[in-house]
Amino acid sequence: MNLILLGPPGAGKGTQAKRLEDKFKIVQLSTGDMLRAAIASGSEVGLKAKSIIDSGGLVSDDIMVQMISERIDEPDCKNGFILDGFPRTVAQAEALDVMLADKGLKIDHVIELKVDESILFDRIRTRIAQTPEAERRSDDNEETLKKRLDVYKEQTAPITPYYAAKGALKTVDGMASIEEVSAQIDAIAAA
């Protein structure tokens, strides 16, 4: 089973991805982790990515898709994978579809965790209030959350119509309890 998890920062994608990994024996593929691993490995794609990043540029869609292509060829992805953080644009979604089709694969489900933004801000305020200052993450603040939400709305949210038009997009209530969200996702995965 090959999945894409969509949703703004704080929607619970990481929590659900970990659970799905354990339940279905599929692998979560984080593009950030893959980039770091490719660079550390010294592979051809890693060297390309390193030179671009070192010069202050953004890694191209071609390189990202090549990196994902190589990663899903690894044995631990034989049961499937979860993409989190990719695709972020319609161009990336289209390139991903072409690459997967070349391998005889497809995305089985695109699952969007819908959330109420005001609740995300409540969550961050609660986390800040309950976490000692020395233990807080550097991005645990309202300003960072607002920026990340703006980027999500501008860059990533536009891919939902792309997947909806293909009949692949399913939406779950990300405001429900973790257990309820899990049950909604499991029902989609079982369909």
pLDDT at residue number 98: 96
Asked whether the predicted pLDDT for residue 139 surpasses 70, the reply is no
CB 40 within 8 Å of CB 79: no
pLDDT interval class at 63 (50, 70, 90): confident
Identify whether 161 is preceded by a cis peptide bond (ω within 30 of 0): no
Report the b/e string of 94-103 with b at 16+ CB within 10 A.
Answer: ebbbebbeee
Strands (E), the chain: 2-6, 27-30, 81-84, 109-114, 169-173
- pTM for the model: 0.81
pLDDT interval class at 130 (50, 70, 90): confident
What percentage of the chain exceeds 90 in pLDDT? 46
pLDDT interval class at 122 (50, 70, 90): confident
Residue positions annotated with a catalytic role: 13, 88, 127, 137, 148
- In the chain, the N- to C-terminal Cα span, in Å, equals 11
pLDDT interval class at 152 (50, 70, 90): confident
